[in-house]
Structure 1
Amino acid sequence: MLQEALSSIVKFHNYLQSRTDPRVRDYPLMQSPLHMTALLLVYVFFSVYVGPRLMANRKPFHLNTAMIIYNLCMVLMNGYIVYEFLMSGWATTFTWRCDLIDTSSSPQAYRMIRVAWLFYFSKYIELLDTLFFVLRKKQSQITFLHVFHHSFMPWTWWWGITLTPAGGMGSFHAMVNATVHVIMYSYYGLSAAGPRFQKYLWWKKYMTAIQLTQFILVSIHISQYYFMEKCDYQVPMWIHLIWMYGVFFFLLFSNFWVQAYIKGKRLPVMDDKPVQNGSTSEPIKVVANGKHVGNGNAHQYTNGKILIGKVKEI
């Protein structure tokens, strides 16, 4: 029984190796799903178990300077990704409707492959978001949605660019996501800069609206496939998965918007430590982005467990 299971795994691995697009095979983290899956499992284990326990009896680190630099780098990186997506098709040759997977060896195809891989790789860099939370003992912000989003995105994107690195209309959501991250990390950078920048953060409520707009755009764009008379997109499964992803996260963030801004049940708790200007020593982030959700009902870490909201426990 065990031998048959191992044989099936080996056959599946060999099948993936044969199906991997040769144009992306030599890129880092693209050789096998085992490497990236193991890395993401370590991330999840560290986020919900090891990290909080290591910090349980330690004082939180003050990492404002590091966070400012990190967020600035993420703004620049995502801005570059958006530009490259535009130049590799979306602002040049794409129709914004039925754009097929490019299997050629043209310079544009290789440019799309490079930026698709860079977008994928950026998801591993974003795992540092959680590390900052752990080191600063902001466990209330390490929600289930935060961990799920950070681990699910790179895992699913590995399959996408392994099989179809120049994905045509399937790459639209990546370009939109990178655009949103330019705005998001700009906000985080200003937030990390201290209380003197509070006056520039009046728009934090609209971060959720920006996220909702992202999922609406992605869902509308990909839904065109179902109404076209003919669209010979080579891997229809990607279309269905992207549509489900857009709708799923739209519902999640809509619920956050209702709970936080209409019912007022999930607004973050303000720090007790005041400063001279009457604001808190560190700005609170109210962003339902699957990343940094400050949940007012989330309990702080006290016993080695992370409690999400009032009843959810990981």
Structure 2
Amino acid sequence: MDLIVDKVNHFNEFYTWALSVSDKRVEDWFLMQGYAPTLIITAIYVIFVTKIGPKFMENREPYRLKWPIVIYNFVCIAINFHICSQLLYNTTMVGYSYSCQTVDYSDNPYEVRIAKALWWFYFSKCIEMLDTVFFVLRKKNNQVSFLHVYHHATMFPIWWMGVKWVAGGQSFFGAMVNSFIHVIMYTYYGIAALGPQYQKYLWWKRYLTIIQLIQFNIGIIHAVQSLVLSCEFPLWMQYAVVFYASTILALFLNFYFQAYIKSHRRKVKEVEEKKKGEVANGVSNGHTESKKKK
């Protein structure tokens, strides 16, 4: 028991020290005072989408939620477009390097706007948890995969740390690319939510997944090259990006294989077996007809 108390005290000391060296510009921003609110929201999300939500919907008809989902998707488009455009414009104005960029903790207006855009990126990950909530309420349980829940449950708390300590510098690149991809992604979801009559415009679903895979590779390459160049940016953040992006990439590759390659092979096999069955039936019927004539 004493050992546990000692460990807790050491952690509290470390956490207090870590807060003391965090970015002073963001300390009074919404949810930035401490880690507890972010962790509590994440825990509520996981418990709801894996336990409470499915149990609540078990004996209920699925909710349609067409217009709430349409509105939600276009709100996500607007938020991600704001993040991407703000990061692109302000980092260009101060001459950010795409190879190695240190964090500027000054009150330079452009740097503050970059920090605010990164805060919006962090907060957007809280809003995007509604993706899974809508799946649960519509009883689309096949969509609530490990990859989906893992991604949503980790991005929010990870980016709290990103904004708290490194709201600028190398952090801008991954957030800018990801928000750009999300503009495309939520455009797809928004059109899909409008109804079956719009399915003909959604032929590019597979390419959306490919773009996401490319994004993760770019993120890993960007982080690795900054490590190779010994970029003046916190090492823990660079290693965290490499590790986290690698786990997401592996899970997305598995999803791509299962959803497209394996699924395509299964459909081809089913078609071939169906053709074989039809040929077999035709031969059998031919023999039957011949016997009848005799």
Q: TM-score, normalised by structure 2?
A: 0.85
* Bigger Cα displacement from structure 2, 201-210 vs 219-228: 219-228
- Render the CA deviation track for 1:60-80: whole Å, top value 9, x for unaligned: 111011111110111111011
Give the 3-state SS of the residue equivalent to 2:23 in structure 1.
coil
Asked if the contact 1:120–1:157 (Cα under 8 Å) also holds between the matched residues in 2, the reply is yes
Counterpart position of 2:237: 238
Asked if the contact 2:102–2:232 (Cα under 8 Å) also holds between the matched residues in 1, the reply is yes
Q: Which letter maps to 2:223?
A: I
Q: Which letter maps to 1:70?
A: Y
Give the 3-state SS of the residue equivalent to 1:264 in structure 2.
helix
Shift of 1:90: 4.5
Q: Go from structure 1 to structure 2 and tell me whether the alpha carbon gap of 1:144 and 1:255 turns closer, same or farther (over 3 Å shift).
A: closer
* Bigger Cα displacement from structure 2, 10-19 vs 53-62: 10-19
Q: Which letter maps to 1:257?
A: Y
Is residue 166 of structure 2 the alignment partner of residue 164 of structure 1?
yes
The 2-side partners of 1:252 and 1:130 are apart by 17
The 2-side partners of 1:202 and 1:122 are apart by 27
Within the candidate set 31, 34, 41, 2:33 is matched to 31
Is residue 185 of structure 2 the alignment partner of residue 180 of structure 1?
no
The 1-side partners of 2:95 and 2:218 are apart by 20
Counterpart position of 2:104: 102
Aligned structure 1 segments of 4 or more residues deviating by more than 3 angstroms: none
Is residue 197 of structure 2 the alignment partner of residue 196 of structure 1?
yes
Counterpart position of 2:270: none
Looking at secondary structure, tell me which structure has more helix per residue: 2
Q: Which letter maps to 1:181?
A: H
Shift of 1:137: 1.1
Asked if the contact 1:215–1:246 (Cα under 8 Å) also holds between the matched residues in 2, the reply is yes
Shift of 1:245: 2.4
Q: Which letter maps to 2:186?
A: Y
Give the 3-state SS of the residue equivalent to 2:170 in structure 1.
helix
Q: Which letter maps to 2:196?
A: P
* Bigger Cα displacement from structure 2, 132-141 vs 255-264: 255-264
The 2-side partners of 1:218 and 1:243 are apart by 8
Shift of 1:203: 0.6
Shift of 1:266: 10
Q: Go from structure 1 to structure 2 and tell me whether the alpha carbon gap of 1:84 and 1:128 turns closer, same or farther (over 3 Å shift).
A: same
Shift of 1:227: 3.8
Q: TM-score, normalised by structure 1?
A: 0.79
The 2-side partners of 1:90 and 1:216 are apart by 23
The 2-side partners of 1:9 and 1:236 are apart by 20
Larger Rg: 2
The within-5 A match list for 1:281-296 is none
The 2-side partners of 1:258 and 1:9 are apart by 42
The 1-side partners of 2:231 and 2:197 are apart by 54
The 2-side partners of 1:215 and 1:145 are apart by 14
Asked if the contact 1:219–1:246 (Cα under 8 Å) also holds between the matched residues in 2, the reply is yes
Shift of 1:226: 3.8
Asked if the contact 1:259–1:266 (Cα under 8 Å) also holds between the matched residues in 2, the reply is no
Shift of 1:91: 6.5
The 2-side partners of 1:141 and 1:224 are apart by 35
Q: Which letter maps to 2:15?
A: H
- Render the CA deviation track for 1:179-233: whole Å, top value 9, x for unaligned: 11001000000100001101100111111101111112212222222443xx441
The 1-side partners of 2:236 and 2:26 are apart by 20
Counterpart position of 1:248: 247
Q: Go from structure 1 to structure 2 and tell me whether the alpha carbon gap of 1:194 and 1:212 turns closer, same or farther (over 3 Å shift).
A: same
Computed over aligned residues only, the root mean square deviation of the Cα atoms, in angstroms, reads 2.0
Counterpart position of 2:95: 93
Give the 3-state SS of the residue equivalent to 2:107 in structure 1.
coil
* Bigger Cα displacement from structure 2, 25-34 vs 245-254: 245-254
How many pairs were matched up?
265
Asked if the contact 1:170–1:242 (Cα under 8 Å) also holds between the matched residues in 2, the reply is no
The 2-side partners of 1:15 and 1:92 are apart by 31
The 1-side partners of 2:60 and 2:265 are apart by 28
Asked if the contact 2:101–2:233 (Cα under 8 Å) also holds between the matched residues in 1, the reply is no
The 2-side partners of 1:66 and 1:35 are apart by 26
Shift of 1:42: 1.1
Q: Which letter maps to 2:218?
A: L
Q: Go from structure 1 to structure 2 and tell me whether the alpha carbon gap of 1:105 and 1:91 turns closer, same or farther (over 3 Å shift).
A: closer
Within the candidate set 40, 57, 62, 1:55 is matched to 57
Asked if the contact 2:118–2:167 (Cα under 8 Å) also holds between the matched residues in 1, the reply is yes
Is residue 211 of structure 2 the alignment partner of residue 224 of structure 1?
no
Asked if the contact 1:82–1:179 (Cα under 8 Å) also holds between the matched residues in 2, the reply is yes
Shift of 1:250: 2.1
Q: Go from structure 1 to structure 2 and tell me whether the alpha carbon gap of 1:116 and 1:266 turns closer, same or farther (over 3 Å shift).
A: farther
The 1-side partners of 2:100 and 2:231 are apart by 8
Counterpart position of 2:279: none
Counterpart position of 1:281: none
The 2-side partners of 1:242 and 1:91 are apart by 26
Counterpart position of 1:295: none
Q: Go from structure 1 to structure 2 and tell me whether the alpha carbon gap of 1:232 and 1:198 turns closer, same or farther (over 3 Å shift).
A: closer
Is residue 153 of structure 2 the alignment partner of residue 145 of structure 1?
no
